[in-house]
């Protein structure tokens, strides 16, 4: 809708000057800047030269509109049957204004032009504008020529100022360029010098790396050889001592039995040390691999309690094993886990004079957490980072009666890393120690995988991550962004598994549609959610932040198992 401000009737070629004058005056009245006033006046002047031909009158209506943006609109009505839109003046008007178009006018030609204004006035301001424009007096050609000359002079002055500003900016840019070129030359020389130094440093580092690898390989070979060579005679010593102490052996004096028991204890300790050295050597060389199986934690904790019973029975330090989480199954290498926990419990008992050593196990959907907490003498702050160095022993008053090699914690951390987990330690002098072992939750034994999967999600990033994982697990992966389309695709070619983002459009309708169709009712569904990840109502659910190959494989098995 256009609010009319002024209506003029023009006739003859001389009226072009009045049209230009009125265009400039109306543009100024509605708040346009000087340059926009000149654009409006010039465009109307060029259109007037096209439309004011012969004795054909021209009706001009100036108005304001809010749609689509506040604009000055000028409607030019003429009896001409057509408008030569190829004229230079028409092209000029299109360049100067926001819109120039020919409208159907019921047998007449109507040209509508539009130019945006700063703001749209209210009703009272519109009335004032109409009154102000109604008082405008018609000018003559001489006045309009003078006005045009003034506009031209203003434009020339503005262009001259801009040209001077451009010359100044060019001079500054040239000066800056000279500085940049000089700086680039200096930086190039410095970079060349630095690169030469870096190349030399890399060569030196490569050489050092080769030397370190050789030293590490030599150490590993040494440990392996020594372990193999020492283990055989130590096994013989331990075996012979046990035979002499066994029930079928000859009677021994008390002194002989005590000495044989000492030989047996020392031999057993030496054999344990040799085995640890051999495992560390295997781990460092990458030859120690975990053999996953289901672990009976209740049996493992019972064995742990029994193995330390001679040390804790009736003593001032108790070994406390917390209740295990119900309904959770741990899959890992049981032998390596036992070695880890025995080392940690042994350390806790060695350096705890009174109180307890507590072992606990908890689990969530991502990891198992084992904690061994003691009330012992703790570790000074300056030794906490050093306890994981091989053969490092923290000096303390209990060290003399707690002989060790300094391999327990490094050995336990190495085994935890072999199991794909971590081992961390927190301790303060006099306040005890907490050692935390975290192991990943591993899926059950792999079962059959579906041949084809239909992925339903509107999230492009999630779709890309899913297809990357699924391509390695199944034969065919199809995709759609909408739940309604997924039902149609599934009806045409039933998938072995539907992976449904619950945030996708029509996700619930998709589930309902599957359950209604007899051919699709038994289709396994794996649902994806951003927060809640618990299985519900027979629907396997996976959190979108857990999209790893292992988590997706395990979730697919759950989906297949919960299929109706």
Question: So what's the pLDDT on residue 444?
Answer: 60
Phi/psi at 462 (5° precision): -65, -40
CA 236 to each of CA 20, 102, 230: distance values in angstroms, whole numbers, following the listed order: 118, 110, 10
In contact, 31 and 72? CB cutoff 8 Å: no
pLDDT per position as a tens digit, 480-512: 999 888 888 988 899 999 999 988 988 888 888
Question: So what's the pLDDT on residue 71?
Answer: 92
HEC string of 538-558 equals CEEEEEHHHCCHHHHHHHHHH
Q: pLDDT below 70 — which residues of the chain?
A: 104-107, 138-153, 155-156, 216-232, 235, 247-248, 269, 271-273, 275-288, 390-407, 443-447, 531-538, 546, 564
Question: So what's the pLDDT on residue 368?
Answer: 93
DSSP 52-85: --TT--EEEEEEEE-SSS-EEEEEEEES-S---T
Question: So what's the pLDDT on residue 341?
Answer: 92
Question: So what's the pLDDT on residue 221?
Answer: 65
Phi/psi at 12 (5° precision): 90, 160
Question: So what's the pLDDT on residue 517?
Answer: 86
Q: Where are the beta strands (DSSP E) in 23-155?
A: 58-65, 71-78, 99-105, 108-116
Peptide bond into 348 cis (omega under 30): no
The percent of residues in the chain predicted with pLDDT above 70, rounded, is 81
Question: So what's the pLDDT on residue 366?
Answer: 86
pLDDT per position as a tens digit, 470-480: 887 888 999 99
Question: So what's the pLDDT on residue 283?
Answer: 60
CA distance linking residue 401 with residue 410, whole number of Å: 21
Question: So what's the pLDDT on residue 168?
Answer: 85
CA 112 to each of CA 37, 69, 78, 94, 513: distance values in angstroms, whole numbers, following the listed order: 17, 15, 12, 11, 55
Q: Which residues, listed in sequence order, are joined to residue 62 by a DSSP beta bridge?
A: 6, 74
- Full set of structural domains in the chain with CATH: 2-139 (3.30.565.10), 293-440 (3.30.565.10), 452-561 (3.40.50.2300)
Question: So what's the pLDDT on residue 326?
Answer: 80
């Amino acid at each position: 809708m256009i609010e009319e401000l002024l209506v003029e009737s023009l006739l003859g070629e001389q009226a072009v000057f009045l049209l230009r004058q009125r265009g400039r005056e109306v543009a100024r009245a509605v708040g346009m800047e000087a340059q926009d006033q000149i654009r409006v006046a010039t465009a109307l002047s060029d259109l007037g030269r096209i439309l004011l031909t012969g004795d054909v009158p021209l009706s001009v209506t100036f108005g304001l509109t809010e749609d689509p943006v506040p604009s000055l609109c000028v409607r030019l009505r003429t009896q001409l049957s057509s408008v030569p839109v190829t004229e230079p003046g028409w092209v000029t008007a299109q360049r100067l204004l926001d819109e120039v178009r020919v409208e159907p006018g019921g047998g007449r030609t109507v040209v509508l032009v539009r130019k945006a204004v700063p703001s749209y006035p209210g009703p009272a301001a519109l009335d004032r504008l109409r009154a102000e424009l109604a008082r405008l007096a018609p000018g003559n050609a001489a006045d309009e020529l003078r006005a045009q000359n003034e506009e031209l002079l203003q434009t020339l002055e503005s262009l001259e100022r801009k040209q001077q500003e451009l010359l100044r900016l060019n001079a500054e840019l040239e000066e800056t360029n000279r500085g940049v070129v000089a700086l680039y030359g200096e930086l190039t020389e410095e970079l060349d010098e630095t690169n030469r130094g870096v190349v030399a440093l890399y060569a030196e580092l490569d050489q050092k790396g080769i030397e370190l690898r050789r030293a590490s390989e030599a150490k590993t070979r040494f440990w392996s050889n020594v372990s193999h060579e020492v283990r055989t005679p130590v096994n013989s010593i331990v075996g012979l001592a046990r035979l002499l102490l066994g029930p079928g052996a000859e009677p021994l004096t008390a002194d002989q039995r005590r000495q044989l028991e000492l030989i047996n204890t020392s031999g057993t300790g030496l054999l344990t040390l040799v085995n640890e050295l051999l495992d560390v050597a295997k781990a460092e060389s990458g030859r120690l691999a975990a053999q996953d199986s289901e672990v009976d934690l209740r049996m493992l904790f019972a064995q742990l309690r029994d193995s330390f019973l001679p040390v804790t029975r009736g003593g001032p330090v108790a070994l406390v094993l917390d209740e295990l989480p119900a309904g959770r199954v741990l899959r890992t290498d049981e032998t390596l886990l036992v070695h880890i926990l025995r080392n940690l419990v042994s350390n806790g008992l060695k350096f705890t004079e009174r109180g307890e050593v507590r072992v606990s196990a908890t689990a969530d959907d991502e990891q198992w957490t084992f904690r061994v907490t003691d009330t012992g003498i703790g570790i000074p702050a300056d030794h906490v980072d050093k306890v994981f160095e091989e053969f490092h022993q923290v000096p303390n008053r209990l060290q003399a009666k707690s002989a060790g090699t300094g391999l327990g914690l490094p050995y336990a951390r190495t085994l935890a890393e072999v199991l794909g987990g971590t081992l961390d330690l927190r301790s303060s002098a006099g306040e005890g120690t907490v050692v935390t072992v975290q192991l990943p939750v591993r899926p059950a034994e792999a079962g059959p995988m579906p041949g084809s999967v239909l992925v339903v999600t509107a999230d492009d990033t999630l779709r890309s991550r899913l297809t990357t994982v699924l391509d390695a697990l199944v034969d065919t992966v199809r995709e759609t962004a909408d739940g309604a389309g997924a039902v149609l695709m599934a009806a045409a070619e039933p998938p072995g598994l539907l992976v449904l983002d619950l945030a996708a459009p029509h996700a619930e309708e998709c589930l309902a549609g599957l359950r209604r169709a007899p051919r699709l009712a038994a289709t396994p569904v794996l649902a994806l959610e951003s927060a809640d990840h618990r299985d519900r109502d027979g629907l396997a659910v996976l959190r979108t932040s857990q999209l790893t190959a292992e988590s997706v494989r395990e979730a697919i098995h759950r989906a297949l198992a919960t299929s109706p």
